[in-house]
């Protein structure tokens, strides 16, 4: 194996490379003492701090992902070696704040031990700290990986992009953000392949080179041998098919970590391990997309490039993510980092997904007027089990919608932009509805809009949003709400009405039948033991007198929207 490099001193290479990164990106700061790249504009008291890191040699990960909308800082070890506990702890002290710190790392022993120890020291120093360990490799399998679990590969970048975008919004707590990250990991799968091992600067060449006529499938990113040797070297189509088999075969109990289906919203990342030319890599990306299409899978997002390298590794990896609406929205959010050169998606679906705006305004008007009429009754329910203002809060929001949306929208054309209307509605809700209900309604509306945006990207021409589109979008929005709250059916909340309503729609029930299911859910809350909210402090004998006010308000809204 050739051992020739322009720089052959591995001791100084990492420091010089970090310095060069900061010199070429004025928005980044290089901290030489701890070998860290820092976003100096991050405010750890307003948003959760996201710190990652690991051995050098994987650039642009992790240091190239520091910046607005992604990582707050990244700390680098030597080549393929974890940073020290002192480096990590110092980085936490310099960028962390009262909003909490999330450490995102790959599942390698050195990283896991060092970052966990640093997290414990940070907690002792008063920092609210959590560790998210990413394992996305499927090639090793459960039997061989044992208690260690899946290795971390290129899918780590998607995890960091999602939690980084959500952290920037400043709406999620550290624990909520960590839960979203765990959900991403649980829906992530990666497999890699390479033609050769890499030579580490400053090390003597080894005899571990792969023979010229074979490929190793299942390569790691630290020069670990592949799990399978394919000989003779297959065509790129055949190789990709074998890699996709590892990712997609539901009957492979050892490697089927994620269940993918044609109906899922699947994001695809094709990652260059560093040594494949741009020309060849682009052709390989096309092959991956083509072979997925042969299996009936059409990715809703495609990311192709060098995101997680292994020095100059002559190889690539394929990552699949089964994404929720919340994940897609976070992936689409802009990020100003050198290692995420993805241009934010153009809102092309704004010209594709349309609604009958006159009907929409009429439905919205009917629902809001119904809430205003029901204000006193819902307040009466809430005075028994809460603080007595649920109806007033809903009615205040309804009046704001009537004033700021319905009145202004009465002179609109027949067709309107569904995404714009829902985003405007979500803003009015956020500005006028206080408390937990306001947050849940806003999450639902934003996720509803995000899902319809994805649906719109699949359309070849303009058309009105169909019933099936609304059902799918509502399903995605419900999933987003579930990720934000532990509340579910049986907890005496608005979820007792929302979940039966959407489940009925998913099962093909009519609007009238779905509303009936929501009413039954509302009525079932009478006498139900409360698990969340102020109602848990109310004497049990009071619960049987009234339904949950949040569920009652939701049913009122649904009845008005659907005129049932």
What is the percent of the chain where pLDDT is above 90?
Answer: 65
> From the CB of residue 283, how many other CB atoms can be counted at a distance below 10 Å?
12
Whether residue 426 is predicted with pLDDT greater than 80 in this model: the reply is yes
Query: Are 384 and 431 within one domain?
Result: yes
- What value does the CA radius of gyration of the chain take, rounded to a whole number of Å? 26
Q: Is the four-CA dihedral 465, 467, 469, 475 of positive or negative sign?
A: positive
Q: Could you report the per-residue pLDDT of 190-207, keeping only the tens digit for each?
A: 999 999 888 788 776 654
* Residues annotated within a binding site for substrate: 55-58, 111
Please report whether residue 379 resides in a domain.
Answer: yes
Average pLDDT over every residue of 22-38: 95
292 lies in the same domain as 384: no
* The pLDDT of residue 351 is above 50: no
3-state secondary structure of 439: helix
* Whether residues 441 and 558 fall in one domain: yes
Global pTM? 0.63
Q: What is the rounded distance in angstroms from the CA atom of residue 275 to the CA atom of residue 184? A: 28
pLDDT surpassing 90 at residue 389: no
- Give pLDDT, residue 1: 40
Q: Is residue 3 part of a domain?
A: no
CA distances from 352 to 326, 330, 412, 446 (A): 21, 22, 18, 18
Contact 45, 99 (CB under 8 A): yes
Report the alpha-carbon distance of residue 328 to residue 448 in Å, rounded.
12
pLDDT value of residue 348: 45
Where is pLDDT greater, at 276 or 459? 276
**Edge-to-edge, what's the strand order for the sheet holding 49-56?**
29-31, 36-38, 73-79, 49-56, 101-106, 129-134
What is the pLDDT confidence band of residue 33, given thresholds at 50, 70 and 90? very high
Planar angle of CA 440, 446, 449, nearest 5 degrees? 140
Answer whether residue 531 is part of any domain.
yes
Which of 165-174, 224-233, 395-404 shows the lowest mean pLDDT across its residues?
224-233
Helices (H), 152-277: 155-169, 174-186, 236-248
pLDDT, tens digit, 9 for 90 and up, residues 157-172: 999 999 999 999 999 9
pLDDT band of 333, cuts 50, 70, 90: very high
CA distance 111 to 62: 13
Range in 7-16, 249-258, 538-547 with the lowest mean pLDDT: 538-547
- Whether 381 and 273 map to the same domain: the answer is no
pLDDT cut 70: percent of the chain above it? 92
As annotated, the binding site includes 55-58, 111
Question: Residue 11 has what pLDDT?
Answer: 73
Check pLDDT > 70 for residue 510. yes
Instruction: Report DSSP letters for 172-202, one per residue.
Output: S-HHHHHHHHHHHHHTEEEEEEESSPPPPTT
pLDDT, the chain, mean: 89
Say whether both 540 and 400 belong to one domain.
yes
* DSSP-derived pairing of the beta strands 215-217 and 228-230: antiparallel
Residue 350's pLDDT is what? Answer: 43
Q: Using 50, 70 and 90 to split pLDDT, how confident is the model at 511? A: very high
Judge if 326 and 362 occupy the same domain: no
Q: Is residue 340 domain-resident?
A: no
Alpha-carbon distance of 183 to 186, in angstroms, equals 5
Q: What is the arithmetic mean of pLDDT over 400-427?
A: 79
Is there a domain that residue 174 lies in?
yes
State mean pLDDT over 119-140.
95
Say which residue, 515 or 10, is predicted with more confidence: 515
Q: What number of helices (H) and strands (E) belong to the chain?
A: 19, 15
Structure tokens at 345: 């998606």
Cα 32 from Cα 17, distance rounded (Å): 11
Q: Which residues are marked as active site? A: 222
Look at the chain and report how many structural domains it folds into.
Answer: 2
Between 478 and 461, the higher pLDDT residue: 478
**pLDDT single digits (tens) 72-102:** 999 999 999 999 999 999 999 999 999 999 9
The answer to whether residues 304 and 359 belong to one domain is no
Q: How confident is the model at residue 509 (pLDDT cuts 50, 70, 90)?
A: very high
Q: Does a structural domain hold residue 1?
A: no
Cβ atoms of residues 176 and 291 within 8 Å: no
Instruction: Give how far the C-alpha of residue 437 lies from the chain's centroid of Cα atoms, to the nearest Å.
Output: 23
What pLDDT sits at residue 531?
64
Helix axes 467-484, 435-457, angle to 10 degrees: 140
Give mean pLDDT, residues 341-359: 67
Q: Is the pLDDT of residue 260 over 90?
A: yes
| 295 and 375 assigned to the same domain | no
Check whether 232 has a pLDDT greater than 50: yes
The whole-number pLDDT of residue 144 equals 75
Beta strands 215-217 and 73-79 are unpaired
And the tokens for 541?
């004998």
Rounded to an integer, the average pLDDT of 474-481 is: 94
Residue 415 has pLDDT above 70, yes or no: no
Quote the pLDDT of residue 419: 84
Per the CB < 8 A criterion, the answer to whether 364 and 406 are in contact is yes
Q: Which of 40-44, 343-347, 506-510 has the least mean pLDDT?
A: 343-347
Distance CA 468, CA 94 (A): 50
Q: Which of 285, 301, 332 is the last residue of a domain?
A: 332
In a domain, 208, yes or no: no
Please give the average per-residue pLDDT across 137-160, as a whole number: 87
CATH code for the domain of 491: 1.25.40.340
Residue 2: inside a domain: no
453: containing domain: 355-562
């Amino acid at each position: 194996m050739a051992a020739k490099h322009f720089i052959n001193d591995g001791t100084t290479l990492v420091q010089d490379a970090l310095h060069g990164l900061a010199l070429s990106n004025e928005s980044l700061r290089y901290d030489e003492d701890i070998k860290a790249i820092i976003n100096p504009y991050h405010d750890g008291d307003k948003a959760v701090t996201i710190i990652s890191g690991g051995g050098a040699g994987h650039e642009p990960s992790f240091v190239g992902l520091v910046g607005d909308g992604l990582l707050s800082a990244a700390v680098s070890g030597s080549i393929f070696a974890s940073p020290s506990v002192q480096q990590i702890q110092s980085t936490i002290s310099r960028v962390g704040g009262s909003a909490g710190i999330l450490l995102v790392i790959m599942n390698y022993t050195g990283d896991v031990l060092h970052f966990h120890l640093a997290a414990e020291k940070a907690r002792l120093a008063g920092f609210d700290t959590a560790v998210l360990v990413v394992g996305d490799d499927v090639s090793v399998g459960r039997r061989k990986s044992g208690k260690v679990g899946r290795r971390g590969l290129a899918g780590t970048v998607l995890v960091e992009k999602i939690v980084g975008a959500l952290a920037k919004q400043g709406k999620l707590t550290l624990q909520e953000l960590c839960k979203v990250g765990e959900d991403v990991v649980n829906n992530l799968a990666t497999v890699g392949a390479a033609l050769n091992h890499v030579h580490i600067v400053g090390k003597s060449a080894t005899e571990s080179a792969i023979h010229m006529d074979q490929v190793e499938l299942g390569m790691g990113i630290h020069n670990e041998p592949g799990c399978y040797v394919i000989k003779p070297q297959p065509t790129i189509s055949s190789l990709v098919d074998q890699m996709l088999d590892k990712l997609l075969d539901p009957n492979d109990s050892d490697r089927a970590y994620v269940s993918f289906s044609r109906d899922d919203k699947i994001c695809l990342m094709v990652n260059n391990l560093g040594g494949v030319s741009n020309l060849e890599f682009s052709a390989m990306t096309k092959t991956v997309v083509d072979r997925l299409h042969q299996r009936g899978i059409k990715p809703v997002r495609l990311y192709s490039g060098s995101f997680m390298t292994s020095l100059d590794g002559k190889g690539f990896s394929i990552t699949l993510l089964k994404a929720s609406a919340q994940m897609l929205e976070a992936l689409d959010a802009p990020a100003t980092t050198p290692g995420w050169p993805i241009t934010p998606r153009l809102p092309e679906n704004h010209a594709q997904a349309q609604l009958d705006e006159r009907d929409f305004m009429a439905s919205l008007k009917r629902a809001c007027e119904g809430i205003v009429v029901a204000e006193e009754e819902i307040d009466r329910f809430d005075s028994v089990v809460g603080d007595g203002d649920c109806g007033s809060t809903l009615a205040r929001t309804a009046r704001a919608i009537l004033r700021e949306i319905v009145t202004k929208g009465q002179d609109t054309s027949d067709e309107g932009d569904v995404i714009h209307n829902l985003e405007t509605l979500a803003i009015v809700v956020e500005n006028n509805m206080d408390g937990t209900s306001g947050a849940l309604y806003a999450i639902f509306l934003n996720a509803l809009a995000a899902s319809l945006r994805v649906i719109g990207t699949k359309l070849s021409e303009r058309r009105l949003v169909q019933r099936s589109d609304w059902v799918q979008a509502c399903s995605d929005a419900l999933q987003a709400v579930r990720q934000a709250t532990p509340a579910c059916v049986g907890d005496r909340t608005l979820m007792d009405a929302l979940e039966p309503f959407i489940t009925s729609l998913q099962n093909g029930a009519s609007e009238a039948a779905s509303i009936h299911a929501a009413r039954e859910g509302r009525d079932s809350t009478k006498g139900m033991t409360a698990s969340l909210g102020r109602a848990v402090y109310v004497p049990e004998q009071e619960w049987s007198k009234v339904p949950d006010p949040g569920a009652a308000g939701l049913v009122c809204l649904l009845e008005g929207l659907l005129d049932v």
